[in-house]
């Protein structure tokens, strides 16, 4: 891949949305948040994982849309919002149906509403912490087969979805490909969130000397899945630029991608790696 586009400053908005069982209302809440973020000057806007439906295996098949088949009201609504407000939009994720399979899919639109690419969650969230948190996405979902790097007008972005953040190799591959910011739409829970959410973001940021942003749904006490919230963004030094708690919120940060270069010049980890002792294999 060629070098990333020239470094720029960009105002990022993370929209921690309240999601209900009403898809139309979820889409309209998302569109309103995008409009508000754009009014505040954001050029890059992020939505949460499964922003158009409740996070449950029962919901995924019911809410899934055939994005490639061109009949996706959620994709159409988000393309329209990105265009209307002139922002690069990382549209969280939504259940996608394709050739009889279901995926947890993030769509990315440019400021003209053109689909720049999509990421299908590659690591499915299958965990069992008895009495605390059990979830098995693989009961309904199929993992994606691609990693996702894209050049946008605001910089080179890498996308992961929630559980993808636990796999450092993915972030390392993104760094190797010149990514300046990794965005993880997500929805950790009240068991794993307090333990690992911030730690994982800071680790991915510091290890790879790049920006890391996460965007969660807000917590709904009536849902079976209790989301952690705490959408945040960390810089390449591991400092938190913005965060929030569990309620609906839009948070903002000014990212200066020049800092990626500066940190890597000051501390040249990449060139100091001992490729004679270990290596990262890129199979993409």
* Chain residues that interact with ligand AKG, rule: CB under 6 A: 49, 125, 162-163, 166, 187-189, 192
**Would the CA dihedral through 247, 252, 257, 259 be positive or negative?**
negative
CB of 279 to ligand AKG, least distance (A): 26
Q: To 5 degrees, how large is the angle CA 192–CA 194–CA 197?
A: 70
Does residue 162 have an active-site annotation? yes
CB of 206 to ligand AKG, least distance (A): 19
Out of 15, 106, 162, 215, the active site residue is 162
Question: Smallest Cα–Cα separation from 67: which of 103, 33, 111?
Answer: 103
Does residue 106 have an active-site annotation? no
Alpha-carbon gap, residue 18 to 108, rounded angstroms: 21
In the 8-state DSSP scheme, what is residue 5? P
CB of 125 to ligand AKG, least distance (A): 3
Out of 15, 49, 65, 111, the active site residue is 49
Contacts of 148 (CB under 8 A, 6+ apart): 106, 117, 118, 119, 158, 159
Q: 189 or 201, CB closer to ligand AKG?
A: 189
Q: 166 or 261, CB closer to ligand AKG?
A: 166
Q: 90 or 162, CB closer to ligand AKG?
A: 162
Helices (H) and strands (E) in the chain, counts: 8, 15
Q: 162 or 203, CB closer to ligand AKG?
A: 162
CB of 184 to ligand AKG, least distance (A): 9
What's CA 19's distance to the chain center, in Å?
A: 16
Out of 53, 111, 121, 198, the active site residue is 121
Place of tokens 């000397």: 209
The residues that are catalytic are 49, 121, 162
């Amino acid at each position: 891949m060629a070098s990333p586009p020239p470094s720029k400053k960009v105002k990022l908005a993370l929209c921690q949305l309240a999601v209900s069982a009403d898809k139309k209302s979820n889409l309209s809440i998302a569109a309103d948040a995008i409009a508000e973020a754009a009014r505040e000057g954001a050029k890059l806007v992020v939505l949460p994982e499964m922003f158009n439906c409740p996070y449950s295996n029962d919901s995924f098949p019911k809410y899934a849309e055939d994005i490639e088949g061109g009949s996706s009201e959620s994709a159409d609504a988000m393309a329209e919002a990105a265009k209307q407000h002139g922002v690069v939009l990382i549209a969280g994720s939504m259940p996608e149906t394709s050739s009889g399979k279901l995926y947890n899919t993030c769509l990315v639109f440019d400021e003209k509403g053109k689909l720049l690419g999509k990421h299908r969650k590659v690591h499915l969230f299958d965990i069992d912490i008895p009495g605390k948190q059990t979830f098995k996405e693989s009961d309904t979902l199929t993992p994606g087969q691609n990693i996702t790097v894209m050049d946008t007008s605001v910089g080179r972005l890498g996308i992961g979805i929630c559980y993808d953040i636990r796999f450092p190799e993915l972030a390392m591959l993104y760094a190797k490909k010149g990514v300046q910011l990794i965005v993880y739409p997500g929805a950790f829970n009240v068991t794993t969130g307090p333990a690992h959410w911030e730690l994982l973001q800071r680790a991915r940021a510091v290890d790879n000397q790049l920006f890391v942003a996460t965007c969660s749904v807000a917590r709904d006490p009536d849902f079976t899945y209790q989301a952690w919230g705490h959408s945040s963004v960390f810089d390449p030094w591991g400092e938190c630029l913005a965060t929030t708690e569990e309620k609906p919120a839009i948070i903002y940060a000014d990212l200066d991608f020049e800092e990626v270069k500066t940190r890597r010049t000051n501390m040249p980890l990449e060139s100091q790696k001992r490729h004679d002792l270990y290596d990262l294999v890129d199979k993409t």
